[in-house]
Amino acid sequence: MKKILIPVVMLVVGLGGGAGAAWVIATFLSAPPEAADAGAGPVAESTPPADGAPADEAHGTETPPSPSDGAGDPAVPEDAEFLRLNDQFMVPLVRGDSVAALVVITLGLEIGAGQSEAVRSREPRLRALLLQTLFDHANTGAFEGMFTASSNMRILRESLTRAAQEVSGDTIRAVLVLDIVRQDM
């Protein structure tokens, strides 16, 4: 009993430590979006004109599209929405009979407009297939060495997209790797 209990406890502690490390990295080391604008100086508050038109229209100027909304980007269709999967994926990297490292991945989905409820209703099955795809990717040794090289990441994204489309058909257009962290044990 003790021979089984100790590795199980170690695995749980390792997974918890990896999740904690990913949380620390995501929370404390990434700059919040407001911080990028902080260097621009104080923002003057404006009041909308009395006729109810937005301030930019009243002055005859056009508001440029925000870089984060995908407007003007030919690679992003106008009817696309982006959905972040709530929980991270934890993939153990096994060498011999022990866990040598842990990869923590946050995924997002590019979906058609108005499809978020349909995708959320299939999320348990979607997560299961995505996790199996990540395990298969890990078992080929793809998370070793330069695993973030663009060719390796392209292969990972394509295989995750194929798996997601097995569940949802064309509802999911692409799987996006938002964060990836590897913690060696």
Residue 26: inside a domain:
yes
- Print the domain residue range for 171: 2-31+74-184
Range 78-82 average pLDDT:
84
Q: Give the span between the Cα atoms of 158 and 151, in whole angstroms.
A: 11
Question: Do 105 and 179 form a contact (C-beta atoms < 8 A)?
Answer: yes
- Structure confidence at residue 153 (pLDDT): 92
The answer, as to whether pTM is greater than 0.85, is: no
| Both tokens assigned to 176 | 């996006």
Domain count, the chain: 1
Residues 55, 60, 61, 66: what is their CA dihedral angle, to the nearest 10 degrees? 50
Question: Do 123 and 164 form a contact (C-beta atoms < 8 A)?
Answer: no
pLDDT at 126 over 60: yes
Residue 67: inside a domain:
no
Q: Containing H/E element for 106?
A: strand 98-112
Residue 11: inside a domain:
yes
